[in-house]
Amino acid sequence: MTSTASRAGTAHPTTPTAPTTDPRVLVVGGGIGGLALAAGLRRNGFDVVVHDRDTDPAATGGYHITLDTPALAALRDLLGPDHYAGLLASASAVRRRPPDVWFDHRGRLLGDLDVRGLDPDSVDVDRTTLRLVLAAAAGDSLVLGSTCTAVERDPGPDGEVRARFADGSVVRADLLVGADGPGSLVVAHLTGRPASRPAGLTGVSGRTPAGDLDPDLARRLGPRSSLAVGPRGTALYCGYLDPAGFAVLDAPLGRHAVTTGPTYVWGAMLPTATAPAGLRGQRGAVLRDTVLEALRATGWGEAPLQVVTRADPSTVAAYPFVVGPASPREAAPWPAGRVTALGDAVHATPPTAGKGAGTAIVDASVLVRELLAHRAGERTLHTAVSAYEQDVRHRGSAVVQLSMGTVRRVLATATPAGSAATRVLLPVLAASTALRGRLTGGRGTSGG
């Protein structure tokens, strides 16, 4: 990492001169959390390098990421004013859109959706846009196309740590941070096993411009996010993203904005146990058609499926939901040392609470704060890492619990009791919402 010292030293106009006692930090994984950490350390003049196996930070999947107040505060510190303003200029303000609603699988409105844990001051941003802004802030500390194959430690608490990469290179550091997501190689090195397991649902996401929908359906969906629930453990989340119409800043769109007009960023959910074989290996139009067929087979109507039918095939991708430990005792169970981890590597979080990325970002900011306390002589490196891990155990497992609530509710419709309740309750709920709508002159419903 010798060469990164000079890179970090020129990172920011107000960069303080790093004292020689600063640890050299190696981050494995340049996704959301790893890049946030690298950006924050670089901004503060640390010697940091982040390696990711991807060759292009834009070549990433996912729909939109919700950033709540703690995540935004962390990003403001980690990114600095220019990159932070660029991010907000590409985001859509949650507060400016009407409340989320839920539908059933026939397209009948069931009412307002009580989104647990939703912070009204949150913003939504494309996952790709967020990663691009973070990569710009991480600058030349980011090494792409670099797959870590092994982690090694010399014996003793102060022993040097090393990472080996697929091209045969070896990088030495004083602190190695695994930000390599669920199934983390770094966490497997620390504990002997991965820290996550399948959550039971497989997600397929895609993007559909609102203008590509039939006007009647676009009107019914409205400029709001929704969740449609169906039988046999199926659901369809439809996030509404409009960084221009629901702008956060009075400023031109940010240069990394992927979404430039009203767009539904959707995610279909299917129980992994009954999802069509081979779904994970498919992409594009083939994957889109497989999902449509699977949802139709469980009784979904054509109207709610139109967002999927009309999606841009190049945006359609599948990914499994994985989940980490839901109790602080099981999270980051290794003794503090010179190898640690953050984000999904510690607390893999299904996207159902919209908190996974935000939590990884807050992890990064807590670790930067602790390393600054170490620099100030308030903590040894060991106690700084230990304080960070203590914090991440509690915050991370709480978010895992929150996100699994929705996963369990969706999967419950696949049980015999849940399936019977869905059959009986959804039409009743839809009818009562329609009646309320007629009496109050408010939103109505129509079948799909």
Whole-number Å distance between alpha carbons of 27 and 44: 16
Residue 276: CA count within 13 A, CB half-sphere = 19
Which residue number has the CB closest to ligand FAD? 31
For ligand FAD, give the closer residue by CB, 107 or 200: 200
Q: How many residues bind ligand FAD (CB under 6 A)?
A: 34
For ligand FAD, give the closer residue by CB, 254 or 358: 358
Measured from the CB of residue 403, what is the shortest distance to ligand FAD in angstroms?
9
Measured from the CB of residue 437, what is the shortest distance to ligand FAD in angstroms?
31
Nearest CA-CA partner of 381 in 7, 6, 25: 25
Q: Using CB under 6 A, which residues numbered 354 to 413 contact ligand FAD?
A: 354, 356-357, 360
For ligand FAD, give the closer residue by CB, 29 or 45: 29
92 with 248: CB under 8 angstroms? yes
3-state secondary structure of 28: strand
Using DSSP bridges, classify how beta strands 197-209 and 123-126 pair: parallel, antiparallel or unpaired: unpaired
**32 contacts ligand FAD (rule: CB under 6 A):** yes
User: Among 5, 12, 15, 53, which residue sits at the site for ligand FAD (rule: CB under 6 A)?
Assistant: 53
Give the single-character DSSP code of 200: E
Whole-number Å distance between alpha carbons of 178 and 172: 14
Measured from the CB of residue 445, what is the shortest distance to ligand FAD in angstroms?
28
Nearest CA-CA partner of 264 in 15, 3, 64, 50: 64
User: Among 351, 370, 381, 410, which residue sits at the site for ligand FAD (rule: CB under 6 A)?
Assistant: 351
**178 contacts ligand FAD (rule: CB under 6 A):** no
User: Among 22, 344, 370, 389, which residue sits at the site for ligand FAD (rule: CB under 6 A)?
Assistant: 344
Give the single-character DSSP code of 353: G
For ligand FAD, give the closer residue by CB, 122 or 433: 122
**206 contacts ligand FAD (rule: CB under 6 A):** no
Which region, judged by CB under 6 A, interacts with ligand FAD, from 59-67, 91-99, 243-251, 306-314? 59-67
User: Among 40, 230, 343, 448, which residue sits at the site for ligand FAD (rule: CB under 6 A)?
Assistant: 343
**189 contacts ligand FAD (rule: CB under 6 A):** no
**DSSP assignment of 40-101, as one string?**
HHHHTT--EEEE-S-S-TT-----EEEE-HHHHHHHHHHH-HHHHHHHHTT-EEGGGSPPPE
Which region, judged by CB under 6 A, interacts with ligand FAD, from 277-285, 325-333, 339-347, 415-423? 339-347
**DSSP assignment of 227-291, as one string?**
EEE-STT-EEEEEEE-TTTTBSSSSPPPTT-S--S-EEEEEEEEETTTSPTTGGG--HHHHHHHH
User: Among 46, 63, 246, 321, which residue sits at the site for ligand FAD (rule: CB under 6 A)?
Assistant: 63
Q: What is the distance, to the nearest Å, from the Cα of residue 254 to the centroid of all Cα atoms in its chain?
A: 20
Q: Using CB under 6 A, which residues numbered 12 to 31 contact ligand FAD?
A: 28-31
* Edge-to-edge strand ranges of the sheet holding 109-112: 109-112, 101-104, 226-229, 235-241, 263-271, 197-209, 317-323
**179 contacts ligand FAD (rule: CB under 6 A):** yes
Catalog residues that contact ligand FAD under the rule CB under 6 A: 28-34, 51-54, 60-65, 127, 147-148, 179-181, 185, 319, 343-345, 349, 351, 354, 356-357, 360
